Amino acid sequence: MVLSKYSASGNDFVIFHTFKKEDRSSLAKELCDRQNGIGADGLIVILPHNEYDFEWQFYNADGSVAEMCGNGSRAAMHYAYTNGLAPKKMRFLTLAGVILGEVEGDVVESQLTKHKLLKDTFEEEGFEWKLYDTGVPHLVTISSIDKFDKALAKKMREKYNANVNFAEVKNSKLYVRTFERGVEDETLACGTGMCASFLVARDLGLVEDEVLVYPKSKEELTIRLNNGRLYFKGKVKNTFIADYKCNDL
């Protein structure tokens, strides 16, 4: 099995394409294991589609299925374009809906599915939160990212079955730390989490319709809101290609 390893703002993914659609939860756990596998935050499987350029199956590191992943969408589009599976401007199908995007060199912009406010401002554990769905559900509190508390994030994640984000605005720029479902830990970046954090900061009048955002990896990305849709842009990197010994394609 020929696999590609990608990094998108610190989120890392194993990607391959195939014609066979099946449950690959066990394979995702094997490949994403950082001690006994390749190591990644998620597995992306690219499949052909009759209407769109392709569709994907996305698995978290624990083998669970995720409807959407912002950084994963950018990595998948770069992989699809590089491997001749899609043009520079493309559309592909996720469980959250159709994603549009464009590849320009190592920079990829993704238009996310339409976001939804699931729960307006509420106070819990000494913080004010909002719950947005930007493809997957995200709890967001605007505070200091230095107040990020992994134990608290885990507690809120389990209670609300959502990812948890601590975000801060400094000098008109957005800084975000995220505890992700499926990884069950803080990750170096989360695209849908940064987008949800942007929406909350914008609701509070702290940012305009376009902002530079920095996850824990400190890589710079751009998020913008245009005609009610979120656009998310940044660099991706194909770190290596490997022939992995596994029969499950």
Token match 């392709």: residue?
Answer: 54
Token pair belonging to 169: 């605005």
Q: Among the residues of the chain, which ranges form H helices? A: 25-32, 70-82, 150-160, 191-203
Cross-strand bridge partners of residue 13: 6, 42
Give exposure, 143-169, as e/b (b: 16+ Cβ within 10 Å).
Answer: eebeebeeebbeebbeebebbbbbbbb
Q: Is 69 a catalytic residue?
A: yes
C-beta separation of 67 from 95 below 8 A = yes
Q: Is 32 a catalytic residue?
A: no
Element of type H or E holding 35: none
Question: Which of these, 225, 196, 192, lies nearest to 211 by C-alpha position?
Answer: 225
Displacement of CA 24 from its chain's centroid (Å): 19
Token pair belonging to 48: 């052909």
Residues marked active site are found at: 69, 190
